Each structure stands twice: as C-alpha cells, then as structure tokens.
Amino acid sequence: MTQRQQEKGRLSNNPSLKDVAEKWLSSIEVPQVVVDENGNMVPVDGTEEIRRQTWDQYESIVHRLIEPNLGALKIKEITTSTCDRFLRSLVVDGKGRTNARLAKTVLKQIMSYAVRHDLYIWGNPVVEVDRLRKPRKEPQGLSETTLEEVRKAVRNWGLEPGRSGPRPTSILADIVDVLLGTGARIGEVLAIRLEDIDLSGDVGKVAITGTLVEPRHGPKYRQDLLKNPGSERIIPVPGFVVDVLVRRISESLANNAAGALFWSRRGTYMQGSSVRRQLRAALDAAGIENAQLITPHAFRRTVATLLAREVEDKAAASMLGHADLTMTHAAYIQRLNEVDDHTAVLDGLAPKPLS
C-alpha cells in the first residue's frame, strides 16, 4: 500500500508532453513575494533559485505556446525535428523571435526534466536544434531634432483643445528628462526614492538600487534587485535633472507613502506600463513620425550613443550598468557612419611629383 501511494503521483512510462510540462512547473519552487502597503517587496526566507517574474514567464510560455502546439504529443514522440519545426513556426514575417528564444529555453528544461526522470532516454532533443539566428539590428538613438520634438510633445500633452480628463502635469516630461540624464531603464527610474537622491555636493547624484516589477499575477512592487547582478550604481546627474529632482522633492505630497520620486495619485510607485501608454499617447497627439519606435528604451540607447561618441565606450557601459562591453556594443551604441578626418595622415600616400 505504501508503494502504491508513492507511485500514485508518478507519470506513466510515456506521458504526454503537457503532463511532463506541468510536472516540471510544479517541481520549481514558486518564489514567494510579500509586498508591504507602500508597494515595496519584503524579503522573506526561502531557497528560491529564480525570481518570481522568471517563473511567471516560464508558466506563460508553457500555457501559451508549448502546450497548445506540442502538448498532445507523447514524450517519446518529441524529436529534434519536431522541436525545430515548432520553434521556427513561432517566427512569422520576422516577428516572434523573442517568443521563439524563450520557448526554446523552456522546452529544453522540460526535456531535461524528462531525461532526469527516465521518461526520455535519447538525450535532450532541444540541444541539437539549430541556432535561432537573429538578424543583426543596428541600435538607433534619437537625433537631436527628434529629441526636441519628443520633449515638446510630452510638455504639451494634455493641453490639446477640447481634451477632457485630469489636469495635465509635468510628470511625463520629468520622467523623460530623468531617463535622458541617467540612461537608466524605465523600471529603475520609477523605483528611485527620495532617499536615493543626494544633492549635498557640487554635483547631484542618484543611486540606482532597485527596479519595479509588474508580474502577470499579484500586486506590482519595487524590488531591491536589478536586472543584472552588480548593476547598482550612483550616477552623477546633469543640471536639468537636478532641477527636476529639486522640484519633485518640494512637491512631494503627504500621501507619497512610498517616498517615490515619481508617485501615483494613490501615493504608490508609478508603473512602467502606464508611462509607456502616456508616452505613446503624447507622441501620437503630436503627430510624430514613427512614434511606435520611440520607447523609454530609446532614450537609454540615445544616452549610450552620445557617451560612446563624446567620451568612450566604457563610459556608456558604466552609465548603463553593464559589466561587459559586449551588450553595450550590440544593443545600445549607434555607430557613426561618418569617418573621422584623417586626411593629414592619408596625404602621406599622395603621388610623388614627376622628376
């Protein structure tokens, strides 16, 4: 009877991929997140090896992509060619590469689980799937002209004739200024607290120590962890950002319980999704061309490109919180098409006068 009880929850010798995927998900300890009344994550004891947003992403990929396409197949029917066809089917007209990449990672872990539990004995088939090649895309920063158009659009947003709704404020323009003055991600900027600001010296400084998380399930919160370990940094900020900081500190309301630099009407942290919607609305209202390409991350690329051109690549990587220049080069710095003036050197190759 004891043996039967132990075998009751076991999978059959050839279960469906859906059953294996669900078993794999349940084998991962779901990180517990406790959020206080101000929207801050409260540390809890636990042995979680992944962050909550990572687990949410795994669950989404399983239920949204893997199970609908492969879930009915028996585990022993899963081959390298099956996996390869499925992953490539996720890319349509050049779109969907991120989903395909994530699905490959998750499917690989599911099949590893099957191998570890003797449900699949031929090695992990996902390992042999050919690389999902991504076309190289040149990072694009915003030109000076476009940047001025964006600034004008966010300043004037809400002032259109006949527009109803809450009284417009400068908050969107302030967020854009801080994004441009720090090169930080939108989640990092919105996680800045008044206690992270130092205006005591000749140069104002902002400490980037956390980020905002918007999980699929449960409350949104601020966590004292950044995207990459070791990305905590103290950023000296230019004068136009200091002006924003001084004004935001002086205007901080009594109901700003979170002590956030950018607080919501309820006194909690503003959310990145809300800022993205507002930015899109402001750009559309102004009729800016290719507005869909101007996202909070575009400001980050603009900062990296400027620093790389005017200072050096390492300055851009340091500002962005990258330990390795590879990521900065690949995704953030737009290279100049115009070559520096080396004519004085090249004159050494001029033809000699005929004697």
Mean pLDDT by 10 residues, the chain (355 residues): 53 87 91 82 68 87 96 95 95 87 95 93 91 73 90 84 63 94 93 94 90 83 77 89 93 87 89 93 90 90 86 82 69 59 69 65
Euclidean distance between CA atoms 23 and 176, whole angstroms:
44
Whether the CB-CB separation of 244 and 172 falls below 8 Å is answered with no
111 in the same domain as 154: no
Whether the CB-CB separation of 207 and 234 falls below 8 Å is answered with yes
Would 344 be classed as within a structural domain? no
Domain that holds residue 206: 144-331
Euclidean distance between CA atoms 156 and 150, whole angstroms:
10
pLDDT at 49 (0 to 100): 65
Exposure string over 159-176, b if 16+ CB within 10 A, otherwise e: eeeeeeeeeeeebbbbbb
pLDDT at 346 (0 to 100): 67
Would 44 be classed as within a structural domain? yes
174 in the same domain as 100: no
At 246, which amino acid appears? V
Would 349 be classed as within a structural domain? no
150 in the same domain as 111: no
pLDDT at 352 (0 to 100): 66
pLDDT at 233 (0 to 100): 87
Euclidean distance between CA atoms 343 and 350, whole angstroms:
11
260 in the same domain as 151: yes
204 in the same domain as 66: no
pLDDT at 140 (0 to 100): 78
The enclosing domain of 85 has a CATH number of: 1.10.150.130
| 95 bridge partner residues | 92
Provide, for the chain, the percentages of residues in helix, strand and coil under a 3-state DSSP scheme, each rounded to the nearest 5. Answer: 50, 10, 45
pLDDT at 41 (0 to 100): 84
Total structural domains within the chain: 2
